[in-house]
């Protein structure tokens, strides 16, 4: 019971069992307008919702407001309704005969008045929590839709369609609530998907599909971090599952997927079909209905499809007013979402903490609109968190690719000088947190042998960054004060850690994909694409400085492969690449640009310097061996330098010609 009249009606009924009451009223007091708003007024057993709103004056009810004390007349008692010392309103109980209510009656009625005051205050807190809850849901959904002009308002339209299906299926009020709000947040995980993938007008590559398909798991982790949203997790995680079990992320089907997720899945697919996207034109409603029917029992739950088609057919028979309304939705009106939900009621008492969680989550969602360089992203995330939470000092660490070191990616405050350091396994409190997956709130780091950090830091709160069983790193805040962090800090940092972990994970995937695209998988050296991009940049910015390029070719690699197998040939290429990489100067670039070809870019080096370095490396390679004792292939090489308005193609071609001239000379010197 959350409506003021409902609460007042319960008090009216309770008063009849406690004492005689021939008249009864409850008025709420608004200290901003200094007015009394009568919620209920009764004479005898007839009670009606009050319609009177009067300024505080000189009457009995006003006397209670002015004095804060009860006011008695021969026929009535007017009692202050107080909650935590605050005057909330006035309860009045009267009798037709004078002097009927004694002191005991008054004491009982005063207790009732204070209970009503507490109920009003709790109802108000719940209403404010509900308002924040719905506003945050809307903001989170809008943050995703804003990433792509083609999908703007997509979540709102899916929510409207989903609610219609749920009501057509006669699902419960709470199911309708979860479906509508879950639909609004179904794509929240796309916050962690790069814009280049979201807006790609062509087919996605296999690696891009891996990132795209991770959005349902990332979204579930984000939503799970905030307790009032937690009952939406199954919908967000499972909205791409299929009835036949061929969906993702868990390949569940049948009754193992909640019906709420099936409802959102059908609405999502329909909205995508009838809307324009970067990769496709809009299709007709007829086409969308045919697809729903074709995939009934495979992709979509049969009962959901049946209800959806009934809804569409009935609406079209009536002029398609509902479909037109939904097509024109810019933002979803969720003020009439049924019920606040059990979880929201349970956590209304701690509305301030959860409100901060929602507000921070909302800011992270709205500000992180693209995947950046991992270090830039880490710094941005950390500054948002510290600013939103009011922390002056913080740090963010990620596991390296090998999983043996924690890299300090970003830090605010005294630990800023530690950025870039790599912590070996077991070094620092953060390693303990990452390995065990548990937060640590250390009251005084000086008393904890695990502590690693600046001398002025005393207390540290660190939480793990993880998604499921995957360890990402650690997020922490620190203070020069002892025991600076409490339970609320633990809850807040844990709540945002899931979204931070999701964003960092996708940034690492993005970086790995970029590295893979620029790296030769056999030798680990930059590949042909990387070499030519670097050479083009160097030529464009050299401003008259020397620049030389060497092209090198491994002689006899085919014979090595034929005699000892391709594993020996691969080992030789790796060894040659390692010798070249170790023998050039800092700032020079060694790349594998073909099967048996390498290239070296000598920045700020005249041709004589480059030739001297390559000649030394060729001699070293000629003396080298691989594991089985077989000699490395010799190399032929050529060097050219950039003169005048040299182009990339001209420079590489000149070095290539020089290499072939040397190769011909070597053949002439080799005995027949």
Q: Is the pLDDT of residue 367 over 60?
A: no
- Type and span of the H or E element at 24: strand 23-30
In this prediction, residues 23-49 reach a mean pLDDT of 91
Cα separation, 483 vs 468, whole angstroms: 30
439 and 502 assigned to the same domain: yes
pLDDT value, residue 220: 86
Residue scoring higher pLDDT (452 or 560): 452
Nearest-10 Cα torsion for 571, 576, 580, 582: 40
Write out pLDDT tens, residues 240-256: 999 999 999 999 999 99
339 and 401 assigned to the same domain: no
Write out pLDDT tens, residues 125-178: 777 666 656 666 665 665 555 555 555 578 888 988 999 999 999 999 889 989
Angle (CA) 198-203-183 rounded to 5° is: 40
pLDDT value, residue 414: 92
In this prediction, residues 603-624 reach a mean pLDDT of 93
- Type and span of the H or E element at 11: helix 4-18
Domain CATH for 545: 3.30.70.270
pLDDT value, residue 236: 94
Q: Is 629 exposed, middle or buried (0-12, 13-18, 19+ CB in 10 A)?
A: exposed
> Which DSSP letter does residue 630 get?
P
Q: Coil, helix or strand for 599?
A: strand
180 and 306 assigned to the same domain: yes
pLDDT value, residue 426: 92
In this prediction, residues 18-45 reach a mean pLDDT of 90
pLDDT value, residue 92: 94
In this structure, are residues 432 and 440 in contact, taking their beta carbons and an 8 Å threshold? yes
In this prediction, residues 636-651 reach a mean pLDDT of 87
Please state the φ and ψ torsions of residue 98, each to the nearest 5 degrees: -80, 155
Residue scoring higher pLDDT (667 or 486): 486
User: Which residue, 108, 125, 142, sits at the end of a domain?
Assistant: 125
Percentage with pLDDT > 90 across the chain: 44
Residue 420 lies in a domain: yes
Angle (CA) 233-238-241 rounded to 5° is: 180
Cα separation, 476 vs 84, whole angstroms: 36
Nearest to 237 by CA among 209, 207, 258: 258
Nearest-10 Cα torsion for 580, 581, 582, 585: 100
194 and 336 assigned to the same domain: yes
Q: Is the pLDDT of residue 120 over 60?
A: yes
Residue scoring higher pLDDT (556 or 354): 556
Percentage with pLDDT > 70 across the chain: 85
Least-confidence region, from 193-207, 261-275, 550-564: 193-207
Nearest to 222 by CA among 343, 349, 368: 368
Residue 517 lies in a domain: no
Residue 33 lies in a domain: yes
Least-confidence region, from 81-85, 209-213, 332-336, 481-485: 332-336
User: Which residue, 89, 104, 125, sits at the end of a domain?
Assistant: 125
pLDDT value, residue 346: 41
Least-confidence region, from 165-179, 393-407, 482-496: 482-496
User: Which residue, 100, 125, 150, sits at the end of a domain?
Assistant: 125
Domain CATH for 223: 1.10.3210.10
571 and 505 assigned to the same domain: no
Domain count, the chain: 4
Residue 518 lies in a domain: no
Write out pLDDT tens, residues 58-67: 889 999 999 9
Q: Is the pLDDT of residue 94 over 90?
A: yes
94 and 118 assigned to the same domain: yes
pLDDT level of residue 349 (50, 70, 90 thresholds): very low
In this prediction, residues 409-421 reach a mean pLDDT of 94
pLDDT value, residue 212: 85
pLDDT value, residue 132: 59
pLDDT, the chain, mean: 84
Residue 358 lies in a domain: no
pLDDT level of residue 358 (50, 70, 90 thresholds): low
pLDDT value, residue 670: 54
In this prediction, residues 19-35 reach a mean pLDDT of 91
Q: Which two tokens stand for residue 485?
A: 């962090």
pLDDT level of residue 343 (50, 70, 90 thresholds): very low
Domain CATH for 8: 3.30.450.40
Nearest-10 Cα torsion for 98, 99, 104, 108: 20
- Listing DSSP states for 320-377 in one string gives SHHHHHHHT-SS---TT-S---HHHHHTGGGHHHHHHHHHHHHHHHHH--S---HHHH
Residue 362 lies in a domain: no
493 and 601 assigned to the same domain: no
pLDDT level of residue 7 (50, 70, 90 thresholds): confident
Residue entry with tokens 């600013």: 387
pLDDT value, residue 259: 97
Nearest to 270 by CA among 323, 219, 194: 323
- Listing DSSP states for 181-227 in one string gives HHHHTTTGGGGGS-HHHHT-SSPPPHHHHHHHHTHHHHHHHHHHTSG
Q: Is the pLDDT of residue 645 over 80?
A: no
pLDDT value, residue 668: 65
229 and 319 assigned to the same domain: yes
Residue 635 CA, chain-centre distance (Å), reads 51
Sign (positive or negative) of CA dihedral 114, 346, 223, 388: positive
In this prediction, residues 430-444 reach a mean pLDDT of 95
Residue 226 lies in a domain: yes
Kindly state the greatest CA–CA separation across the chain.
135
484 and 537 assigned to the same domain: no
192 and 301 assigned to the same domain: yes
In this structure, are residues 433 and 463 in contact, taking their beta carbons and an 8 Å threshold? yes
In this prediction, residues 416-430 reach a mean pLDDT of 94
In this prediction, residues 626-650 reach a mean pLDDT of 87
Task: Please give the residue range of the domain that contains residue 345.
Answer: 128-350
In this structure, are residues 475 and 465 in contact, taking their beta carbons and an 8 Å threshold? yes
pTM: 0.50
Cα separation, 206 vs 164, whole angstroms: 36
317 and 394 assigned to the same domain: no
Cα separation, 559 vs 632, whole angstroms: 11
pLDDT value, residue 115: 85
Write out pLDDT tens, residues 509-531: 667 666 666 788 889 899 988 89
Residue 550 lies in a domain: yes
In this prediction, residues 4-8 reach a mean pLDDT of 86
pLDDT value, residue 500: 82
Q: What is the CA radius of gyration of the chain?
A: 36
346 and 393 assigned to the same domain: no
Residue scoring higher pLDDT (391 or 589): 589
Q: Which two tokens stand for residue 445?
A: 């780091």
């Amino acid at each position: 019971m959350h409506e003021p009249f409902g609460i007042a009606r319960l008090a009216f009924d309770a008063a009849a069992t406690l004492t005689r009451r021939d008249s009864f009223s409850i008025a709420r007091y608004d200290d901003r307008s200094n007015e009394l708003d009568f919620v209920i007024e009764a004479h005898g057993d007839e009670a009606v919702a009050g319609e009177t709103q009067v300024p505080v004056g000189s009457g009995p009810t006003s006397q209670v407001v002015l004095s804060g004390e009860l006011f008695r007349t021969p026929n009535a008692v007017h009692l202050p309704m107080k909650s935590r010392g605050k005057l909330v309103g006035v309860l009045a109980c009267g009798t037709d005969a004078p002097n009927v209510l004694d002191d005991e009656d008054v004491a009982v009625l005063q207790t009732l008045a204070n209970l009503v005051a507490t109920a009003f205050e709790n109802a108000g807190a719940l209403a404010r929590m509900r308002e924040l809850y719905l506003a945050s849901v809307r903001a989170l959904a809008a943050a995703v839709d804003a990433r792509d002009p083609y999908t703007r308002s997509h979540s709102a339209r899916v929510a409207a369609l989903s609610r219609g299906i749920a009501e057509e299926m006669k699902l419960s009020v709470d199911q309708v609530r979860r479906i509508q709000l879950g639909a609004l947040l179904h794509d929240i995980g796309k916050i962690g998907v790069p814009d280049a993938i979201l807006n790609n007008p062509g087919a996605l590559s296999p690696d891009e599909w891996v990132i795209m398909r991770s959005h349902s798991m990332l979204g579930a982790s984000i939503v799970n971090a905030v307790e009032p949203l937690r009952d939406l997790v199954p919908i967000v995680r499972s909205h791409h599952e299929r009835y036949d079990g061929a969906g993702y992320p868990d390949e569940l089907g049948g009754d193992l997927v909640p019906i709420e997720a099936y409802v959102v899945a059908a609405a999502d697919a329909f909205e995508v079909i009838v809307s324009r996207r970067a990769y496709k034109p809009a299709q007709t409603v007829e086409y969308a209905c045919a697809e729903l029917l074709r995939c009934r029992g495979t992709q979509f739950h049969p009962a959901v499809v049946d209800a959806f088609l009934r809804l569409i057919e009935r609406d079209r028979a009536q002029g398609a007013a509902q479909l037109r309304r939904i097509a024109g939705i810019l933002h979803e009106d969720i003020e009439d979402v049924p019920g606040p939900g059990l979880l929201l009621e349970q956590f209304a008492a701690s509305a301030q903490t959860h409100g901060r969680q929602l507000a921070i989550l909302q800011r992270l969602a709205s500000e992180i609109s693209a995947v950046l360089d991992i270090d830039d992203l880490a710094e941005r995330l950390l500054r948002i968190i510290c600013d939103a939470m009011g922390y002056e000092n913080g740090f963010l660490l990620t596991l390296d690719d090998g999983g043996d070191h924690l890299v300090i990616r970003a830090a605010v405050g005294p630990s800023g000088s530690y950025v870039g350091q790599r912590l070996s396994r077991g070094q620092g409190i953060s390693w303990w947190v990452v390995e065990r997956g548990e937060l640590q709130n250390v009251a005084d780091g000086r008393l904890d042998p695990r502590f690693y950090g600046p001398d002025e830091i005393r207390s540290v709160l660190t939480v793990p960054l993880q998604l499921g069983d995957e360890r990402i790193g650690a997020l922490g805040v620190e203070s020069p004060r002892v025991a600076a962090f409490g339970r609320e800090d633990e809850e807040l940092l844990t709540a945002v850690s899931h979204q931070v972990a999701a964003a960092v994970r996708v940034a690492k995937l993005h970086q790995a994909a970029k590295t893979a695209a620029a790296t030769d998988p056999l030798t680990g050296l930059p590949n042909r694409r990387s070499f030519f991009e670097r050479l083009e940049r160097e030529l464009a910015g050299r401003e008259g400085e020397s620049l030389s390029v060497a092209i090198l070719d491994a002689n006899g690699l085919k014979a090595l492969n034929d005699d000892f197998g391709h594993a020996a040939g691969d080992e030789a290429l790796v060894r040659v690449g390692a010798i070249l990489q170790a023998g050039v100067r800092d700032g020079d670039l060694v790349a594998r640009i073909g099967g048996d070809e390498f290239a070296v870019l000598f920045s700020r080096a005249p041709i004589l310097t480059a030739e001297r370095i390559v000649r030394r490396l060729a001699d070293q390679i000629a003396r080298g061996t691989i594991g089985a004792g077989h000699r490395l292939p010799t190399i032929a090489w050529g060097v050219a330098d950039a003169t005048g308005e040299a182009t990339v193609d001209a420079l590489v071609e000149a070095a290539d010609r020089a290499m072939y001239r040397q190769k011909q000379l070597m053949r002439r010197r080799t005995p027949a």
